[in-house]
Amino acid sequence: MTLLSININKIALLRNSRGRNDPDVNAFAMRCLDLGAGGITLHPRQDQRHARYSDVGKLKTLCQLRGAELNVEGYPTPEFLAVVHQHRPTQCTLVPDAAEQLTSDHGWDLHKDGEFLRPILAELKALGIRSSLFMDYDNVDIHLAKEIGADRVELYTEPYAEHFGTAQGEIILQGFFAAAKRAQYAGLGVNAGHDLNLENLSAFLRIPNILEVSIGHAAVIECIESGVAHVLKQYTSICYTHSP
């Protein structure tokens, strides 16, 4: 099956907007896990405008108790890495986000950033943390992620989601098939995320051996519209019928 990891940043954003612990990030994460999600994703940005570094420890405890995975993603600043080193999530996904960036919108350039990432990936491995690099599907150098020490890549799926249901979207999907194959041939596991939703996820998972999808913004909107239990039931049905 493909592991479903729910990104709870938008729940944290709602919490921060009122200055109180409402909605409770941990309670929402717990409900998602109890309804079948296999993991929780958290992306604390440098300004901590939604997820906070202080959320990581509580979520790690929750995921351990539930036998679930915690994926912490973000740009590897010293502050971010200190939190990751302290709490040791199951997976750390490194993302090339600038401090002022609204949302993730591109993957790493490994020719430019590879030597910066190499010692960080080595540190994660020494701590027993699985590493993943956020990558564009049309990056022909995706295999370099393995050479510098990454365990997995996360394919940035917005180009697929943006054109889903069109002829161009089908061409782009074939590009994702090719990217996954290149990564897997190099010995990398393949994750995916960004703007995947209930409408487009099933078609995307025609790609063989997608190990994990991280879904947040769309899932929270769908939960508001249709209810958490209903939405998680649909997501788990889609993910757990696809076997990597």
Rounded CA separation 76/182 (Å): 25
Among 58, 54, 90, smallest CA distance to 72 is for 90
Asked whether the beta carbons of 108 and 137 are under 8 A apart, the reply is no
Q: Which residues are catalytic?
A: 43, 73, 194
120 Cβ partners below 8 Å, 6+ apart?
76, 81, 94
Three-state secondary-structure class, residue 41: strand
Rounded CA separation 145/152 (Å): 8
